[in-house]
Each structure stands twice: as C-alpha cells, then as structure tokens.
Structure 1
Amino acid sequence: MAKRFFRSWLPSPEQVNNLKIMKIFGDKALNPTLWYVNRKSISKAMFIGTFWGILPIPLHSILIILTVLIFEANLPIGLLLAWVMNPLTIVPILIFAFWIGSKIYHVHMINKEMLLGVFHQITHWIKNFGHGHIDLSLAKILATGLLIEALIFAVLFFAITRIYWRWSIIKKWRMRQNCK
C-alpha cells in the first residue's frame, strides 16, 4: 500500500535525469538504488529532503543530491520535498526558527521590526554576493534555530514514514489473513 502510494506519483528515472542539474553527477544518478521504493530508501529520503528543505540556503538541490548519493536514499522524494517545502513554508519556518533560537539563547522573541531588519540585511548580503553587514547576534539565533528545527522535522518525517510504512504492511497482512 505504501509502496504503491509512493510509486504512483514518483517521476521516472529518465524524467529526473533529464534535469540540467543532474548532468553534473553523470552516471552516478542512474544508480538503481537511488530509485528503490522501499521503507529504508523512502524514509532516508524524507529525512534528507526535509533537513535540506528547511534550511534556506542556495543550491540546496545539489546538497540533497550529494547526500542522497552518499546514503543511497530515494532521489526523487528527497528533491521533491525540498522543492515543495521551501517556497511554500519559508515564512513559518523562519519565524519558528527565531522562536527556537530565542528560547535557546534566553532572549525575548524578536519583534517585527527586528525581524524585517534581519531579512533586509540577509537579502542585501545575498544581492551583493556576500558584501555587506549582517548583525551576527541575530544571525546566530536564526542559524541555531534553523538547524534544530531542520533536525526535529527531519527526524519527525523519518519516523512518520517508518510508522506509516509499518502500519501499511500490518494492514495488508491482516486483510490477507481475513480473506483466508
């Protein structure tokens, strides 16, 4: 059941390998283990895609591909999670990361003006290719919160995938036993 669910909406290896970014990795991206739909491969991909997808860093797709190649997880799931998660949830992710960071460093939650100031500093820094000023005290709070948030959600998605997969198998076994 879980296997059928994931296979139903996963792109084919040819579709993913036709992406320009995949040309960098050559034949390594055609490794059949990167396309397996099983409990281990999918749950590892959920962890990898969630972790890198939460971190708002440039070229996170390349980091996902490298991590997937190292840990032999499902490539399309890892990429799809980051592509869906990052643009749709970036504002709540950053707010929650600031909240986590403020709890860790025992500071009051940052107000809207401070938050907008940090976002302005970051966008200015990115637009000028690393030249400019960033208030590192706020960046430290954000970076710490983002890393912890990424780990929490990655572990959570990993566990949910494993639990769902196990539940699906038990349900299938019970249905098979009831038919006898």
Structure 2
Amino acid sequence: MKKSLKRVMPDPRKILENRQLGIFGKLLQDPNLWHLNRRSVSGAVAVGLFVMYLPPLGHLFMAAGLAIAARVNLPISVTLIWISNPITIPPMFYGAYVLGCWLLDQPVVGFDMHFWIDWRNWLAVLAPLLLGSLVCATLCSVAGYLTIQALWRWKLMREIQRRRARYRAATSAPSSSRQR
C-alpha cells in the first residue's frame, strides 16, 4: 500500500512552494506531515473526509490546518477534499440537509426552484444543513479512518504470511536435499 501511495503522492517541494499554503510557514517543515505510515495516512483520510462534508468555504486551509494540528499526512488530507466538487456537492449537501431535517424533526423541502432561489429561505435550511453536514462529516471521517486502518493491517498480514511462506520454503528445501 505504501509503494502505491508513494507513486501518486505529489512531491513535498511542490506543496511547500504553493503560495496558498504559505500562511502555514515553518509549520510545513514538520516531517510527520509527509510520512506514509498507518497512523498518518488513516488520520489524513479522516481529516480529508471530515473537511469534505463541511460547507465549501476554505476547504484547502481547513484541511491543511487540521492536518498540521493532528500531524498527519498533509498531501492526502488536502487531496481528499476534492471529492466534493461541483458535481458531487448538490447530492452530498441535499443528503446532509435531509438527515438534518430528520434529526431536528423538521419537514424536508423538496426541490422547488422558487424556494431555493429566495435567499431568505436559506436561513430555515441552514440549521438542518449544518447539523446534517457535521453528522455526515463525522461518520465519513470515522469510516475512512477505520477502513484505512483495516486495509493497512490486512496488507501487512498478507506480507507477513508471504515472508513466512518464503522462509519456510527456503529452510525446508536445503534440509530435504541433505537427507538424500
């Protein structure tokens, strides 16, 4: 898993040269932000998926700030926020809105163009949308973290089994030739 991640990871120097991330200054020099280990990658996935579900205002800065604070892989956390894009945002946030309405026991407003165009109606939508977004962000974050932890552990166990099989094959082959 680590090798495949290294192939697709951007060069840390390119990220350090990014003007938008310049506000973080020397904080970007922390080597933990660039490590690829189980803790760093699963934490970065959790950060990226959490920020992805927040209202799209400064996602890049929020993901970078949380990754720096949690000392998890910065490129992965910043990359995952791009799952929410102009195509995926409407269904994501409508689902979050419906969930928020359900949690607050409010009626769900269907897609009525006149309702959604009038900005004064947005205040009624804001509470369920924010609550639903926080719940979805937390659920996605926890699911992503646990999934990466499980996948990393599974991959590690497969590698250990392969090594054991190679070791057994290497140690049993010479002993069988000695018996002859």
TM score, norm. by length of structure 2? 0.85
1:98 offset after TM fit, Å? 1.5
Q: For 1:153-164, what aligned pairs fall within 5 Å after superposition?
A: 153-164=140-151
Kept in 2: contact 1:53–1:86 (CA 8 A) = no
Q: CA deviation at 1:110?
A: 2.1
What are the residue-to-residue correspondences of 1:10-159 with 2, within 5 Å? 10-113=9-112, 117-118=115-116, 120-121=117-118, 133-159=120-146
Secondary structure of the structure 2 residue equivalent to 1:141: helix
Q: 1:23: Cα distance to partner?
A: 1.5
Contact 1:41 1:73 in 2 (8 A): yes
> Structure 1 residues 86 and 150, CA, compared in 2 at 3 Å: closer, same or farther?
farther
CA offset at residue 168 of structure 1?
Answer: 0.5
Residue identity over aligned pairs, in percent, reads 26
Tell me which amino acid in the other structure corresponds to 1:169: L
Encode CA deviations 1:4-33: one digit per residue, 9 max, x unaligned. Answer: 121110111101112111221112112111
Distance apart, 1:138 and its partner CA? 1.6
CA RMSD of aligned residues (A): 1.7
Larger Rg: 2
Output the CA distance in 2 between the equivalents of 1:176 and 1:121: 64
The aligned amino acid for 1:140 is: A
Alignment partner, residue 171 of structure 2 = none
Change (3 A) 1:165 1:135: same
Alignment of 1:157-176 (within 5 A): 157-176=144-163
Counterparts of 1:10 and 1:100, CA distance in 2: 34
Structure 1 portions without partners, runs of 5+: 123-132
Contact map agreement 2:115 2:121 (CA 8 A) in 1? no
Point out where structure 2 has 5 or more consecutive residues left out of the alignment.
Answer: 168-180
